[in-house]
Amino acid sequence: MTVNAVKTQTRGQLKEKNHRLFNLGGTAYTYISMALIVCVFSFILVVVFRYGFGVLSWHFLTSEPNPSALDAASGGILTPIIGTFLLTIIGIVLAFPFALATAIYLCFYTKKGLFRTLVKGAVDILSGVPTIVIAMFALVIFTLPQLGFLSTMIEGVEGASRAYGRSFLVAGITMGIMILPFVIKSMEEALKAVPGSYIDGSLALGATKWQTIYKVVLNAARDGLVTGVILGMGRIIGDTAIVWLALGGSIRMTGNQPWFAPENWISTLRNSGCTLTSYIYYTSPAGEGNQFDVAFGASLVLIAIIILLNLMASLLGKAGVKKHG
Amino acid sequence: MVKAATITLKNVSCHYRGNTALKNTSLEVPPNSIYAFIGPSGCGKTTLLRSINRMNDLIPGFRLDGSIEIDGENIYADSSKKYVEDLRRRIGIIFQQPNPLPTSILKNMYLPLREHYVFDNDHFRQKAIANLQEAAIYDEVKDRLDKSALSLSGGQRQRLCIARAMMLDPKIMLFDEPCSAIDPVATLKIEDLLNDLKKDRTIIIVTHNMEQAKRIADYVAFFYKGEMVEAGKAMDIFTRPQTEILHNYITGRF
Ligand SMILES: Nc1ncnc2c1ncn2[C@@H]1O[C@H](COP(=O)(O)OP(=O)(O)OP(=O)(O)O)[C@@H](O)[C@H]1O
Ligand SMILES: [Mg+2]
């Protein structure tokens, strides 16, 4: 063996050793990070549970809140729950068709070109805009008197000719706009993941492009599309800034009473109210209530709803897998 | 036996954006025959096959010179969407990878019809069953027509795709290496099926398997580097190759 050969051999062994060390380091790094994340999350959950669980009761879930700092008189979170659901439904119903159409357009109708760049850029930028900015924008638009039918007109004030600009309708529409980029992106991913062989197969059978999209692509991408919807719902449920500015600051339903009577539904939608997130703010020490336990109780319900939503998503995914084999 | 279609290629050249995949190919596929395209990888077999039902139109930048005629009708004369879609309904194509959709077997069979908004289930159920029988897969799937097509084996999937293509009664069927993803037993089943199919149809098959070409082909065309080198009766091609390169190819010295 020459000197050179020995040298290369030891260098090879060194390299091998380095590799192993690197491997070990990488593994340790991932495990420690994971453990840390799990710790932080469980800590949050434990704290919320610890403080919030005590206030949970049937009464808490099914009675309306009262503006009182006395726990006994302050009621429950029925209207905040309803408010959260209202905004979620309005937002998703509005965003869904536009998001799907945009995703289809980006996937199947343009490969490149100025317009595509513009659309993609708009989606990217919109997804980075803080929701408080979107809420400000909504406030400017929806206080226009021409859009007064979405909220209420300011009346009885001399010289005022603006709309109030805050209501479930206004906030719902704003939520729809806010989630558009996220829903578009995740739907685009879902559509892109449909194997080209499905598309070719359909076109080879003489289907038109639209028939292929409608019958084949949307079916194959269904689980991914549902995920997109659920992602959007999660964002609406968790948002506070838009609620604050576009729904308004009141912990009760402010339309005609009783708010749940069918003849008052329109009025309820055109007026303000609150959601779980804004309720948490009011009742927290930062807001007016300083009812720590109540705020945590509402947080617990909010987290439960989000967990339920995610569970639903994975169940739907599983059902889809089962069906498709 | 029903007389199927004659396919005539006249000076066909195929270009992708930036490169030419096939140069100046002329040949005639007689009705009710199995015509095999053979040749080493990348020589343009798939390109030519997909040109016959205009699947390449979907690739941006693709261009075809020359003409392809079916019973004398130049299929590249009309490029309207409607014409091309109708053409694809007249010419079935089976790909290398079986591509059933992730729905039930029966829904896969309805796909070509449902695409065109036909919902008469009873009549089409019969038709679907008849086609599954003809594709020699019915006995294996008759108890699970409503189960997912993805629960089938590779060979079964491929036969399902063949049955699905037959829902439109194509007079021409194109096969691109239909057996390359499946085992020998399933391969033999598909070869039997092809022999059955040619009674009413004209068939072109791309294959890398010389034995398969010998077993089922009536005619063979040999391609090399984007050109057709030799074409003729299968017997002649395999027993008396005119060029050294074909001789080398069929004897496996390549
Ligand atoms: N979509 C495409 N865009 C550009 N070039 C392509 C495209 N598809 C094929 N080609 C090129 O055209 C030539 C012929 O390809 P083709 O797929 O027809 O070969 P093939 O004979 O079917 O090969 P194989 O036996 O490997 O399937 C190749 O050089 C290939 O790189
Ligand atoms: Mg090929």
- Interface pTM (ipTM) of the complex? 0.87
- DSSP designation for B57: G
Is pLDDT larger for residue A29 or for residue A284? A29
Residue whose CA is at the smallest distance from ligand 1 atom 5: B16
Number of compact structural domains in chain A: 2
Residue A260 belongs to a domain with what CATH number? 1.10.3720.10
Ligand nearest to the CA of B38: 1
Give the separation between CA A279 and CA A14, rounded to whole angstroms. Answer: 62
Q: Looking at beta carbons, which residues of chain A come within 8 Å of B62? A: none
Closest residue on chain A to B105 (Cα): A324
Residues contacting residue A91 through CB under 8 Å, at least 6 positions apart: A172, A173, A175, A176, A178, A179, A232, A233, A236
- Of A155-164, A192-201, A220-229, A281-290, where does mean pLDDT reach its minimum? A155-164
Nearest to A216 among B53, B55, B101 (CB): B101
Query: Would the pLDDT of B130 be above 50?
Result: yes
pLDDT digits (tens, 9 = 90+) for A160-211: 677 777 888 999 999 999 999 999 999 999 999 999 899 999 999 888 888 8
**Residues A51 and A158 reside in one and the same domain:** no
> Is the distance from CB of B149 to CB of B102 less than 8 angstroms?
yes
Query: Would the pLDDT of A6 be above 80?
Result: no
Q: Looking at beta carbons, which residues of chain B come within 8 Å of A324? A: 102-103, 148, 150
**Residues A254 and A179 reside in one and the same domain:** yes
> How close, in Å, is residue A197 to chain B by CA atoms?
6
Query: b/e string for A282-294 if b means 16 or more Cβ within 10 A?
Result: bbbeebebebeeb
Residue whose CA is at the smallest distance from ligand 1 atom 2: B16
Report which residue type is found at B39. Answer: G
Size of interface A-B (CB pairs under 8 A): 76
Cβ-defined contact of B99 to A200 (cutoff 8 Å): yes
**Residues A13 and A89 reside in one and the same domain:** no
Look at the block and give the residue holding tokens 């319900």: A301
Report pLDDT for A325: 39
Cβ-defined contact of B86 to A206 (cutoff 8 Å): yes
Decide which of A55, A70, A97 is a domain's last residue: A55
**Residues A14 and A117 reside in one and the same domain:** no
Residues contacting residue B103 through CB under 8 Å, at least 6 positions apart: A219, A324, B148, B149
What is each CA distance from A65 to A71, A255, A260, A285, A299, in whole angstroms? 10, 15, 15, 17, 15
Cβ-defined contact of A206 to B99 (cutoff 8 Å): no
Decide which of A30, A55, A80 is a domain's last residue: A55
Probe site for chain A from B46, B87, B115 (most A CB atoms < 10 A)? B115
**Residues A29 and A153 reside in one and the same domain:** no
What is each CA distance from A181 to A118, A170, A187, A231, B37, in whole angstroms? 13, 19, 10, 11, 49
Helix (H) or strand (E) holding A178: helix A168-192
Report pLDDT for A1: 47
Domain ranges of chain B: 7-250
Q: Place A324 in a pLDDT band, splitting at 50, 70 and 90.
A: very low
Give the separation between CA A15 and CA B104, rounded to whole angstroms. Answer: 53
**Residues A49 and A89 reside in one and the same domain:** no
Give the separation between CA B206 and CA B221, rounded to whole angstroms. Answer: 10
Ligand nearest to the CA of B39: 1
**Residues A30 and A119 reside in one and the same domain:** no
Residue B174's nearest CA partner among B51, B59, B79 is: B51
Rounded distance from Cα B178 to ligand 2 centre (Å): 11
Rounded distance from Cα A82 to ligand 2 centre (Å): 59
**Residues A130 and A278 reside in one and the same domain:** yes
Nearest to B93 among A111, A204, A323 (CB): A204
Q: Token pair for residue B245?
A: 């390169």
**Residues A40 and A93 reside in one and the same domain:** no
Query: Would the pLDDT of B232 be above 70?
Result: yes
Give the separation between CA A314 and CA A317, rounded to whole angstroms. Answer: 5
Q: Which domain holds residue A12?
A: 1-55
- pTM for the predicted model, two decimal places: 0.81
Ligand 1 contacts (CB < 6 A) are: B 16, 19, 21, 41-47, 59
**Residues A76 and A95 reside in one and the same domain:** yes
Instruction: State in words which class domain B7-250 has.
Output: alpha beta
A196 close to B (CB below 8 A): no
Mean pLDDT for the stretch of residues B206-222: 92
What residue ranges in chain A does DSSP mark as E strands? none
Cβ-defined contact of B55 to A197 (cutoff 8 Å): no
Q: CB neighbours (10 Å) of residue A121?
A: 10
> Is the distance from CB of B160 to CB of B134 less than 8 angstroms?
no
Report pLDDT for A151: 74
**Residues A43 and A61 reside in one and the same domain:** no
The CB-based long-range contact list for A128-137 (8 Å cut-off, 24+ gap) reads A130/A241, A131/A178, A131/A239, A131/A241, A131/A242, A132/A241, A132/A242, A132/A244, A132/A245, A134/A174, A134/A177, A134/A178, A134/A241, A134/A242, A135/A174, A135/A241, A135/A242, A135/A244, A135/A245, A135/A246, A136/A245
Cβ-defined contact of A220 to B161 (cutoff 8 Å): no
pLDDT digits (tens, 9 = 90+) for B86-105: 999 999 999 988 889 888 89
- DSSP designation for A109: I
Q: Token pair for residue B184?
A: 């020998």
Helix (H) or strand (E) holding B236: helix B234-239
Decide which of A38, A55, A72 is a domain's last residue: A55
Give the separation between CA B138 and CA B131, rounded to whole angstroms. Answer: 8
**Residues A44 and A121 reside in one and the same domain:** no
